[in-house]
Amino acid sequence: MAAKSTSTKANGKSATPSKGGAKNGEKATVTKPEEPIRRPRVRDARPKIERAALELFVTVGVDAATTREIAESAQVSEGALYRHYKGKDELALALFMETHNRLSAMLAEALGGQGGLDEKVHAAVAAYCSLADEDFLLFSFHLVSLNKYLPYDKRRADDPVSITEGIIMDLMDAAAIPKGDPALKAAMALGVVMQAGQNKIYNRLPGPLSRHAPALARAVLAVLKSN
């Protein structure tokens, strides 16, 4: 007599394979897919987002950082970031321009005020160093991102470089410093403080930048007074 096929009904019930490999008589376990973590809406999320972004931008770079990592570091949802910025590139540019515009205002005030050349230069360098020490993370991001974001800042009368060039030109016209190329003198003078800032970022210069302000100011004056 031929053996019964496994597909035949036994005791009026069809023999069907159990789900998930469960044995006969046992209930199959169904694994639900993980749901994404939903963070509650955070009040004043913008400062948290900007701070988290700065830390990531300085440590891993703008290109390597992701909006998801920024949101996780800020402990907000990724949607919260997009409520304030179109993406990380707009966020990075906004952070860069925040310091860039503050530098413009600071230079215009310090170099355009009352006093002689030495007083103005010492005031400008002291203000620059104070700005750096006030928020060194933001200052660091601006300094290491100049090559990336400076092209976005179209040459204008109130950008830091144009302000410096204009004041140097006025000093030359007034015979306060020797004649020369204002653009070159501005580049050399700004280079004194900017390179010092770079060295501080990479731990090659100890203490707050303000500690070195008098020496930096003397170096800037030497540049301006050179032939």
Instruction: Tell me the per-residue pLDDT of 90-140, one tens digit each, with 9 for 90 and over.
Output: 999 999 999 999 999 999 899 888 889 999 999 999 999 999 999 999 999
Q: Does residue 27 surpass a pLDDT of 70?
A: no
Q: What is the pLDDT of residue 28?
A: 54
| 194 and 114 together in one domain | yes
Which pLDDT score, from 0 to 100, does residue 8 have? 44
Same domain (yes/no): 72, 123: no
Which pTM was predicted?
A: 0.76
Say whether both 51 and 118 belong to one domain.
Answer: no
Q: Note whether 203 and 122 are same-domain residues.
A: yes
Within-domain flag for 7: no
CATH of the domain at 151: 1.10.357.10
Side chain identity at residue 13, one-letter code: K
Judgement on whether residues 50 and 76 belong to the same structural domain of the protein: yes
Q: What's the domain count of the chain?
A: 2
Two tokens at 115?
A: 């006093």
Q: Are residues 67 and 136 in the same domain?
A: no
Mean pLDDT over residues 190-210, rounded? 95
pLDDT value for 43 = 66
Tokens at 86, concatenated: 């179109």
Same structural domain, 173 and 126: yes
Tens digit of each residue's pLDDT (9 = 90 or more) over 107-116: 989 988 888 9
Higher pLDDT, 5 or 209: 209
Show the DSSP H helices in the chain as ranges.
Answer: 45-59, 67-74, 78-84, 88-111, 117-134, 136-144, 146-149, 160-173, 182-201, 213-224
* Statement to judge: residues 49 and 118 lie in one domain: no
Q: Are 80 and 145 contained in the same domain?
A: no
- Domain span at residue 68? 41-85
Give yes or no: residues 68 and 127 share one domain.
Answer: no
Percent over 70 (pLDDT), the chain? 80
Based on the domain organization, do 157 and 117 belong to the same domain? yes
Residue 30 falls within a domain, yes or no?
A: no
Whether residues 80 and 119 fall in one domain: no
pLDDT confidence of residue 38: 57
